[in-house]
Structure 1
Amino acid sequence: MEFIKGSKNLRKGRVSIAGQYYLITTVTINKTEVFKEKRAADIVLNSLYWLDHQNRIDLQAAVVMPDHLYFIARLNKGTLSGLMHSLKSYTSKQIKAKLNHTGTIWQTQYHDHAIRKDEELKEMMIYCLQNPVRANMVNDFHDYPYWYCKFNV
């Protein structure tokens, strides 16, 4: 298992609360730009849609960047760690099978931030969606191909 400085701190105090909104960030191993490939990014987005359809989460927003994923969702069932294990395991298997990718896709850890107020939810959604703009990939996030938002923005 790979240990990254400070990775234990990512798990300290982690609590999974059903009905709670979270901003979740997870990164590919060695920040490899796996999701520059459209099919890989589509696998991740479709997996989030499936989790939403299965009512495990209520997906609010998501952005698949070349080497990481941001998404905001309300946890409906299970735990954050179970959710992330399912998401990473499934997407890894699909990417390896469909794109002949070898090796590890995701870092084991992830960062979660509990969103406590409706105003903060809107701010976090904007923050999430603006990632491609901050990375100088596009001038307007609407021009970036790998994003989702439940609401008109």
Structure 2
Amino acid sequence: MPTIHQAHRLRTGRFSAPGQIYLVTTVVQNRDPVFRDFMQGRLVVDALKKAQEEELVLSLAWVVMPDHLHWLFELKNNTLTCIMARTKSRITLALNRSLERDGSLWQHGFHDRAIRRDEDLPAVARYIVANPLRAGLVEKIGDYPLWDAVWL
């Protein structure tokens, strides 16, 4: 798990720009595979949909892996830090309620990458949703239930 100092370094140079497309990755503490259970993974999906309903982001693609999340979105309102804190908190509260547990769920911080407008966004989305294939979780992406992309 990253230390607080390492998580702080993740923020170095972070800039939140409305209209910018970002790929963010966030990881569960100790890489605990809590989302290998479909129902727990759906809690993540619900939180991503809520962020879009609140018009904080326009979700373009995502995949919920057993121990982490990749999310491609266009930033609408607020900052990356605020959106990720809100989303991670919403997921943590829902999961803790579901599993009758308490405490933290996520590692500190998150990784983000601004996507240039000239990048092939459908190709980025395909790369994201192909994570379960590369991890050997399924033989074809259609067999993995926790992903979506606006192009696919």
Same fold (TM over 0.5): yes
Over 6 Å off, 4+ runs: none
Q: Which residue of 1 aligns with 2:50?
A: 50
Identity %: 36
1 CA distance for matches of 2:130 and 2:4? 27
1 CA distance for matches of 2:120 and 2:78? 24
1 CA distance for matches of 2:145 and 2:4? 31
Report if the CA contact (8 A) 2:25-2:71 is conserved: yes
2 CA distance for matches of 1:143 and 1:27? 23
2 CA distance for matches of 1:92 and 1:136? 27
Q: How many residues align?
A: 151
Between stretches 7-16 and 23-32, larger displacement belongs to 7-16
Aligned partner of 1:25: which letter? T
2 CA distance for matches of 1:78 and 1:70? 19
Deviation at 1:79, TM superposition (A): 0.1
1:82 aligns with 2:86: no
Q: Which residue of 1 aligns with 2:32?
A: 32
Instruction: Let me know the Cα RMSD of the aligned residues.
Output: 1.5
Q: Deviations over 1:86-142 (max 9, x none)?
A: 001111011101221333211121000100124332221111011000101112212
TM-score by length of 2: 0.93
Structure 2: tracts of 5 or more residues without a match? none
TM-score by length of 1: 0.92
